[in-house]
Structure 1
Amino acid sequence: MKKSNVPSATPWSDPDDAPEITDVWVAEADLYDGEKRLRRGRPPKVQPKEQVTLRLDADVLAAFKKDGEGWQTRINAALRGYVQEHRS
């Protein structure tokens, strides 16, 4: 059982003992539509990216990585440009 699903050690006997409901508590609470738990965060993408394993020459990879974060996105953009230029 997840830590968040473990029942509290001492049940409340007095409703006035209940903790105050704060904005933080509401923001972290799970949302339900009937029995179905609703996902939080971004909705799923219509065309999600696909994970692949790709072997690249070390110098090519180093050239993309030297500019820092986002190197995978830059490789994707370079491949996309190639595909668009070479479509029949």
Structure 2
Amino acid sequence: MNETSTIARHSLSQIKAMRERGEDQTSPEAPEAESLGTDFWSSARVVMPAGKTSVHLRLDNDVVDWFKAAGKGHLTRMNAVLRAYVEAQKHNPSRS
């Protein structure tokens, strides 16, 4: 028998409400990321990319460890940070 699993996506407020009701499935030992602050999010954009390119990249151990500490999806988060940087540079008139 094939079982199909689905991934539920919830907003931060929905997750907090689930925690209050005791319905959160997150491990109690899972680290909570530090807030990036309102300044970051006031100019952040979520963009659906046209495609992906596989690359081999050497990164500092502490950088990778920091992203991995937040759990699954560390490569996606790294890409999001790079995307935010690229978008900020596109809109920076002083960029050479």
Under TM normalisation by the shorter chain, which class is it? 0.3 to 0.5
TM-score calculated relative to the size of structure 1: 0.45
Task: Choose between structure 1 and 2: higher strand proportion.
Answer: 1
TM-score calculated relative to the size of structure 2: 0.42
